[in-house]
Amino acid sequence: MFGLEHTDEALGHQYELETRAIRVAVKPAYLDDQSDPDDDRYVWSYTVTIENRSAEPVQLLSRYWNIMDGTGRVQEVRSPGVVGVQPIIAPGESFQYTSGCPLETASGTMSGHYQMRSASGESFEAEIPAFLLESPYERRQIH
């Protein structure tokens, strides 16, 4: 559907991508208790783990998200840091946070990147793997 590996068991699947020795893993989860399908409100949490596999510390400066709902509407989000911090991640260490995403449709996708800076002053983007936001209310089509 979106060019992502995915099976019906993908609810709870972890998506991973490594860019320049920075591994980003994302695990989305549908939040039934915060969602209201009758009011077109579907909410997911996603837990991100950013692991520094390089030889020097890196700092996460900002984030960019591309969020697409089930109708193809795109929302772009840019902001400094994540959850209010710009963490410095030492070699061999990781930083984990959980955030959320509401949509008006029962499914969607998210992708993006983090703007990083190495201790030597080099700026680069660490890609966030594209991942599916799925709910039990998604209308599945048989092809």
pLDDT in tens, 19-58: 999 999 999 999 999 999 999 999 999 999 999 999 999 9
SS3 label, residue 8: helix
Element (DSSP H or E) covering residue 96: strand 94-103
d(CA 55, CA 33): 42
Comparing 140 with 53, which gets the higher pLDDT?
A: 53
123-137 pLDDT, tens digit per residue, is: 999 999 999 999 998
d(CA 3, CA 10): 14
What number is the average pLDDT over the span 103-126? 97
Fold classification of 12-130 is Immunoglobulin-like (2.60.40)
User: What's the whole-number average pLDDT of the chain?
Assistant: 90
pLDDT at 141: 52
pLDDT at 7: 37
Contact 112, 105 (CB under 8 A): no
43-99 pLDDT, tens digit per residue, is: 999 999 999 999 999 999 999 999 999 999 999 999 999 999 999 999 999 999 999
Q: What would the 3-class secondary structure string for 63-90 be?
A: EEEEEEECCCCEEEEEEECECCECCEEC
